[in-house]
Amino acid sequence: MIHNIHILNSEILSDNWYVLKKITYQYTKNDGSKQIQSREAYDRGNGAVVLLYHKVQKTVILTRQFRLPTYLNGNPSGLLIEACAGLLDKDHPEDCIKRETEEETGYRIADVQKVYEAYMSPGSVTEILYFFVAEYDRSMKVADGGGLAHEEENIEVMELDFDRALDMIDNGEIKDAKTIMLLQYLRLKGIL
């Protein structure tokens, strides 16, 4: 266990897109000894994610978009299939995910169910992600989706059979952790 954490120094390495800091801190270990470490932490804000599902049709709404970090790490196309998500931008998580859903998928949802929250990469990123599920139907479709042009988003909206989405996890077509977690949630809870 770590006790008595004291920040000794905080240095901004970059705030070009989000904030990357180098933090030097001291802590006390269980044996009473003190240790000093330096680590980098990337603060991009907190986020929310939602998986839209249609109970009768047994379908889900996912998105596909280019993600540079995946391309740099060996994803040949850079395209990633994901549940709809976005940064809170100081909004409440429910308000954020309703806004992002309409922008990205074209569906206007009124009711979301929070299922959990999780740190996705706690060794280097400060973000906590709020996870939601929500039912959708055709009457909720108010736009094409695809994201906002001024945010330079280019998002493809995909409606997939739930079993097909699960198969896409197994065959490696879906590699996004938040999406896998929400698809597995629907499966484990017997929702679809």
Q: Domains of the chain: which residue ranges?
A: 2-43, 47-188
CA distance 103 to 65: 14
Distances (CA, A) of 56 to 14, 24, 88, 138, 174: 48, 53, 31, 12, 23
Residue 162 has pLDDT above 90, yes or no: yes
| Structure token digits, residue 74 | 């060996």
Residues with Cβ within 8 Å of residue 90, at least 6 apart in sequence: none
- In our burial notation (b when 16+ CB lie closer than 10 A, e otherwise), range 98-115 reads bebbbbbbbbebeebeeb
CA distance 183 to 155: 20
Find out if CATH 3.90.79.10 is the number for domain 47-188: yes
**CA geometry: angle 46, 51, 57, nearest 5 deg:** 170
Q: What is the pTM of this model?
A: 0.92
Residue 173 DSSP one-character state: S
Q: What's the pLDDT tens digit per position in 37-89?
A: 999 999 999 999 999 999 999 999 999 999 999 999 999 999 999 999 999 98
What's the pLDDT score for residue 27?
93
User: What is the separation, in whole angstroms, between the first and last Cα of the chain?
Assistant: 41
Beta strand 113-119 with 2-14: parallel, antiparallel or unpaired?
unpaired
3-state secondary structure of 67: coil
